[in-house]
Amino acid sequence: MSLLVLSAADVAKVTAKFTPDELVALMAGVFSRLSERHREIYQPHRTAVPMEHHTSLFMPSRITSVGTTVKVVSVPSADAPKDVKEKGLPATTIVLEERLGSVKAVVNARRLTALRNAAGSLLSTRVVLPDDATPRKILAIGAGAQIQAHLALFLTAYPSIDSCAIFNRSRNARLESLRELLDTTFSSVRVTTGVLPKAHSKDGETEFFDAVKHANIIITATSSTRPLFPSKAVQKGTHLCLIGSYKPEMHEIDTDLVKRAGVVIVDQKAACLQEAGELIDAELSDADLVELGELFDYRAKDQSWIPREGPIEEIQTAGDVTIFKSVGVGVQDVAIACAVVERAISEKIGVLIDEYDQDD
């Protein structure tokens, strides 16, 4: 039995070959199974192991018709050295061989989590926006891997976008690198960057609120514990993708904005009601949420999805903005990692270690 090893560079080569439609269809399959409470899904609770400068999380997941994986992510502790924090979150996904039970592939997953989240966000946008929608302005808050993946996917999927504003807590090298990448890749898009206004300060407030006011799509991926902007700054018809919060004390938007949506689209109700600070603070219940997988019909045979007009119209008329809140679900990792491995094998990308499991 051979073992495939995919480095970060290998993963970048492989994922570049996926179209937005392919990635959206991949996540449609995941969310459809989740909302149907499909028996072929297994998501045991993650295991946390403390290390010297990290907490390592071990997250096994399985979709019987797709595959079995274990993702390992190491989250730097608050008192970790600066150089450790700057290296971000090391992540690796192990993909198992279904028949033999051995390890089939080891995949660098630093950017895979961001990519599967971006694909989920794009799916939510495709669901609530009309087929002929032509959004022109997008606002992203944050400058990490999540924002990079989201903007690359959204700007590819919506060539109508001609203005992209990115605001971050500081004007650091990561923000500048992201701007340069987008300038190079999407030359027809005007990319601007700025620094988020600090609490109790008016510096930069006008520029930021102007970007919020004119955005058709807003994407947030921060660990903020206070709302990033007031509800009144957001124009009617805006679609928001909230990716950052995963603890009750985290809030990227205020309760007024949550209420404006009427009904909030989520990846998984139970997880969001326990982890999404904005929804907890707004005292939302199960009845105030709809799972993304409930808004379309999925056909596994040809990996296609068809919007359910009735439920979608209810979302569109429930409020004057639409919101997708994601805390991430483990089976998304199964779908993206297995798809990457299969594409890598067909494209002969990566390092193949022959007879890895041969002991004689």
- Provide the b/e sequence for 39-54 (b: ≥16 CB within 10 Å): eebebeeeeeeeeeeb
Contact between residue 252 and residue 220 where contact means Cβ atoms under 8 Å apart? yes
Q: What is the mean pLDDT of residues 174-201?
A: 91
Q: What is the pLDDT of residue 89?
A: 84
Q: How many CB atoms lie within 10 A of CB 356?
A: 14
Q: Is the pLDDT of residue 182 over 70?
A: yes
Asked whether residue 82 carries a pLDDT value surpassing 90, the answer given is: no
Q: Counting beta carbons within 10 angstroms of the beta carbon of residue 249, is it exposed (0 to 12), middle (13 to 18) or buried (19 or more)?
A: exposed
Better-scored residue on pLDDT, 213 or 46: 213
In the prediction, which pLDDT does 84 show?
87
User: Rounded to whole angstroms, how far apart are CA atoms 107 and 128?
Assistant: 33
Residue 322 and residue 305: Cα distance in Å, rounded?
20
Res 97 pLDDT > 70: yes
Question: Structure pTM?
Answer: 0.92
Is residue 18 over pLDDT 70?
A: yes
d(CA 27, CA 126): 12
Chain position carrying tokens 């690796």: 92
- pLDDT value, residue 75: 86
For the chain, how far is it from start to end, CA to CA, in angstroms? Answer: 12
Q: What is the pLDDT of residues 113-138, one digit of tens each?
A: 999 999 999 999 999 998 899 999 99
CA 7 to chain CA mean position, Å: 21
- The answer to whether 72 and 56 are in contact (CB under 8 A) is yes
SS (H, E, C) 7-68: CHHHHHHHHCCCCHHHHHHHHHHHHHHHHCCCCCEECCCCEEEECCCEEEEEEEEEECCCEE
Mean pLDDT of the region 57-62: 94
Secondary structure of residue 223 in the 3-state scheme: coil
How far, in Å, CA of 31 to CA of 295, rounded? 10
- Average pLDDT, stretch 276-282? 94
* Residue 19 confidence (pLDDT) above 70: yes
Q: Work out the pLDDT band at 245, boundaries 50, 70, 90.
A: confident
Asked if residue 199 has pLDDT above 70, the reply is: no
Give the whole-angstrom CA distance, residue 22 versus residue 158. 15
pLDDT score for 200: 59
**DSSP-derived secondary structure for 329-353:** -HHHHHHHHHHHHHHHHHHT-SEEE
The owner of tokens 């004390």 is 249
pLDDT at 201: 65
211 sits in the region (left: phi over 0; alpha: psi -120 to 50; else beta) called: alpha
Of the pLDDT bands very low, low, confident and very high (cuts 50, 70, 90), residue 60 is very high
- Is the Cβ–Cβ distance between 340 and 15 less than 8 Å? yes
Amino acid of residue 159: P
pLDDT at 257 over 80: yes
DSSP 3-state assignment of 95? strand
- Copy the structure tokens of residue 127: 């669901």
Query: Which residues face 108 on adjacent strands?
Result: 92
